[in-house]
Amino acid sequence: MKVRSLTITGGRLVLPGGVRPGGLRCVDGFITSVGDVAPQDGDEVVDARGALVAPGLVDYGTFAIDKPAFHFGGITRAALMPDQSPPLDHPARVRFAAQSGKPDFWVHPLAAASVGLAGEQMAELALMRDAGARGVATGRRWIADSGAMLRLLQYAAMLDMVVVAHAEDGGLAGNAVATDGDIATRLGLPSAPAEAEALAIARDIALAGLAGARLHFRQVTTRAGLALVRDAKARGLAVTAGVTPAHFMLSDLATKDFRTFARLSPPLRSEADRQAVIAGIGDGTIDVIASGHDPRGAEDKRLPFADAAPGMAGAETLLPCVLTLVRDGVIGLERAFDLLARMPAQLLGVPAGELRVGAEADVALIDPEKPWIVDSGRMAAAAGNTPFDRQPVQGRVLALWKGGVRAAS
């Protein structure tokens, strides 16, 4: 397919080294020049009028392919968790998922680590890799058997696949839907100590060290868990960490009215842990911020808290939530897009996530100040289960290109 060349002028480029005025030109779906650009005859010319010109976001760890929501949120690629129905534990399903968003949205499936995500029998990782899987994930569960986890890490290391782990010790977490604390006790919700996360992280780091594997914790949400990741990085281990905005925007206070939109996995933590997550983002312990996008309708959410499915529709609020960290001075703009695009693209091993010559022309035009109010009743997502309902936020995507083609939205 012949793509009309695109020139964006008059913007503020978000580059790894900082933000500076300029534009870019894209030919045949790739970025061909960055900085001072001049449109050529026949180009589609877009005047950014001072808006941010940023890489399309790469969302590392979503539970659904929900194109309208992703496009609203400026997301051009997503790593799809294997927790599908049925799970992504078979090469054919991986191949299908990898094609499912094209052309204007690219899905990078993460292969299920075990058959049926049951944590027992290892799935066909090499076949799934060759069918398009860009990593291996344990899903929303912990692999309880340490021997099985070690063998998984060794095998994945041989295949050069990143292992994406869920950090909650299953024995401690049990059927908990909340974190031990005042709120869970008053509400009478089954709860588990926050230490369930650190226990799981400590074991998996030890095993990853043994195996020489690359290990990514999709969500690290506690002070103790972050300390372990920080330490592992200092020791030179190939360990990375992610988080979703829920855990730096909200604490367990958000569950106090039994609001199932705040029923998440792992559950919301204490205010002290929320502050630790913000610090972890600021000091570089956290590498990736993802949406964890998981739209759930009334049949999954209009239930008693403990019976409701975990998960939030997060694609639309990902960017504005991260921009609050910029406004609060926790991180700079360029680091925001490291967390949202460059690092996750690196984890996936795809030539995207930054505005450089030769990269795919996944580009978002963003007004970082534009105010709007999150409204669960009027979302682009397949369902409006956002814990940020009625919250005023800032930052909106004005236009989005995937491979140089304007994404429908």
Partner 1 sequence: MTIELPHRARYPAGALAFPHRGLLGIAQLQTHEILFLLDEAEQWVALNRRPAKHSDQLAGLTIINAFFENSTRTLLSFEIAGKRLGADVVNMHAAQSSVKKGETLIDTAMTLNAMRADAIVIRHGSSGAVRLIADRVACPVLNAGDGQHEHPTQALLDALALRHALREAGRASSDGMVNGLVVTICGDIRHSRVARSNILCLQALGAVVRVCAPPALMPAEITQMGVEVFHHFDAALDGAEVVMMLRLQNERMDGQFIPSPREYRHLYGLTPERLARAAPGALVMHPGPMNRGVEIDSTVADLAGRSLITAQVEMGVAIRMACLEVLTRRARQVEGWA
Nearer to partner 1, 255 or 291 (CB): 255
Instruction: Tell me which residues touch partner 1 (CB under 8 A).
Output: 174-175, 180-182, 184-191, 193, 257-258, 298-299, 302-307
The CB-of-274 to partner 1 minimum distance in angstroms stands at 16
Q: How many CB atoms lie within 10 A of CB 379?
A: 22
CA dist list (Å): 315 to 66, 71, 74, 134: 9, 9, 9, 20
Nearer to partner 1, 41 or 299 (CB): 299
Instruction: Reduce the DSSP state of residue 398 to 3 states and report it.
Output: strand
The CB-of-228 to partner 1 minimum distance in angstroms stands at 22
Reported as half-sphere exposure (CB side, CA atoms, 13 A), residue 103 has a value of 14
From start to end of 219-294, where are the E strands? Answer: 239-243, 288-289
End-to-end CA distance of the chain: 21
- Residues 14, 355 contacting (CB under 8 angstroms): yes
383 φ/ψ angles, rounded to the nearest 5 degrees: -150, 155
The CB-of-193 to partner 1 minimum distance in angstroms stands at 7
The CB-of-69 to partner 1 minimum distance in angstroms stands at 23
Nearer to partner 1, 166 or 263 (CB): 263
Query: Nearest to residue 340, comparing CAs of 142, 58, 149, 61?
Result: 58
Nearer to partner 1, 191 or 317 (CB): 191
Nearer to partner 1, 38 or 303 (CB): 303
The CB-of-165 to partner 1 minimum distance in angstroms stands at 23
The CB-of-180 to partner 1 minimum distance in angstroms stands at 3
Q: 111: which strand partners?
A: 136
- In angstroms, the CA 173 to CA 164 distance is 19
Nearer to partner 1, 21 or 174 (CB): 174
- For residue 110, the 8-state DSSP code is P
The CB-of-4 to partner 1 minimum distance in angstroms stands at 48
Nearer to partner 1, 193 or 351 (CB): 193
Q: 293: which strand partners?
A: 312
Q: Omega into 87 within 30° of 0, i.e. cis? A: no
The CB-of-142 to partner 1 minimum distance in angstroms stands at 16
Tokens of 247: 């855990």
Residue at 38: amino acid letter: A
- Residues 203, 138 contacting (CB under 8 angstroms): no
392 φ/ψ angles, rounded to the nearest 5 degrees: -75, 135
Nearer to partner 1, 50 or 171 (CB): 171
